[in-house]
Amino acid sequence: MAAEYGNSPETSSKAYWDGLTADFVAAHPGRKVEVTLYPWADVDREVTRLVEEGNAPDVALMGAYSDFAAQGRLYAASELLPVRVESNFLPPLVEAGSVDHTLYGLPFVASSRLLFYNEELFDKAGAKPPKTWTDLAEAAKALKKEGVLCPYALPLGPEEAHAEALIWELSNGGGYAGDTGGYDIASERNTQTFRWIKNNLVEPGLTGPVPPANFNRKDAFAAFLRGDVGMLNGYPSLLHEARAKGMKVGTLRMPVSDTRQDAQPAASAGVADWMMAFKRDGNRELVGSFLEFVYEDKNLNAFAGRYHLLPSTVSASLASKDAADPSNEQFLDALSGAELYPVNEPSWLQVSNTIKRNIGQAVAPSADPGIVLEGIADEVRDIVDES
């Protein structure tokens, strides 16, 4: 069972999986592979339902794995793959895919986030690519003065608020994870981050006409492609779309807080999707053979290239850097040192939903960012205690 990455019959993942499984079966006579696709909105629920009914798929490709690992339902990578394949995954993805130092979530494709800026709008406004938060605010002011509708797009709506929030938190040395495991949502650094965003971007009207808590990533991306946004955080497929429209787009690492400009470079935010294999009588050898085939460079890069995403292995990444799209290299470099969501926490799915629903309120006009973050942290503690 796998998530559907396409958004139309023409872009459906079905063609990829049909071709790959046909090639696998041809190389393994007498074997059969059936792939069922579900929309992203449904795949986690459908896999969970089948697991609870005692009819888990052999393999699933979806957004989270750790709750199944915690239940003892998944094979470890070492039970399925040769050492050369297991050791080929990119280190940040291995860390995120491991529970108690054992790899259960096999990273499939990934993306990293970079700050995009519309070069034409920047040139008109006389703005410079920012290196620090102050630089970003100054560029946003120049863009606003030039009449740009949304100088900096801040999508903290429920679609993907947890991504935008993490990008900003990392740029100030914060994040979701605690130093010794678990969560640290309301840390002093995170509170500083949201207070700065509110005071220096939202209140001066530099984030556009829609309140950040109501502004979703999809709408922010569409506005950027219309030329209404000066800056936003994006990933490879958006850059591909923008350049296909003839837009001149610059990309750079997320600017850091002014207090950290002389510190080590901040980690980029990374996102990965996870392949996992469920324990069923007699399926380990076949599942291992299939996954070894999936992770061959040509097969992994064919999928990543189809959707302008990043492959999850060292060798496929090197091949991707040599491919026709030169923008891949900057995203791959960012991914190599990225920090991912704490997906190895079994409670992450519920926690991320809580963050998505609430964190946009931290920059609302009448809000105290610290109180909002403490409220989220309280909910998170309840979720962890119940799980």
Which tens digits make up the pLDDT trace of 221-243? 999 999 999 999 999 989 999 99
For CA atoms 95, 327, 293, 306, the dihedral sign is positive
Residue 174 has pLDDT above 70, yes or no: yes
Give pLDDT, residue 322. Answer: 61
Q: What percent of the residues of the chain are helix, what percent strand, and what percent coil, each to the nearest 5?
A: 50, 15, 35
> Degrees (nearest 5) of the Cα angle 176, 178, 181?
115
Give pLDDT, residue 326. Answer: 62
Give pLDDT, residue 386. Answer: 87
Contact 339, 135 (CB under 8 A): no
Give pLDDT, residue 197. Answer: 98
CA 198 to the chain's CA centroid: 24
Residue 321 has pLDDT above 80, yes or no: no
Name 256's bridge partners.
Answer: 132
Residue 10 has pLDDT above 80, yes or no: yes
How would you classify the pairing of strands 310-311 and 37-38? unpaired
65-69, 163-167, 183-187, 323-327, range with the lowest pLDDT: 323-327
Give pLDDT, residue 208. Answer: 97
Contact 151, 138 (CB under 8 A): no
Tokens describing residue 351? 């926690």
* C-alpha–C-alpha distance, residues 136 and 99, integer Å: 37
Give pLDDT, residue 325. Answer: 61
* C-alpha–C-alpha distance, residues 114 and 53, integer Å: 41
- Please compute the mean of the pLDDT values over residues 35-50 and round it to a whole number: 93
Residue 324 has pLDDT above 60, yes or no: no
Query: Does an H or E element contain 210, and which?
Result: none
Give pLDDT, residue 171. Answer: 96
Give pLDDT, residue 182. Answer: 86
Residue 363 has pLDDT above 70, yes or no: yes
Percent of the chain past pLDDT 70, that is, above it, reads: 98
Give pLDDT, residue 337. Answer: 86
Residue 371 has pLDDT above 60, yes or no: yes
Nearest to 151, CA basis, from 219, 96, 214, 227: 227
Give pLDDT, residue 261. Answer: 76
Tokens describing residue 168? 């900003």
This prediction's pTM = 0.90
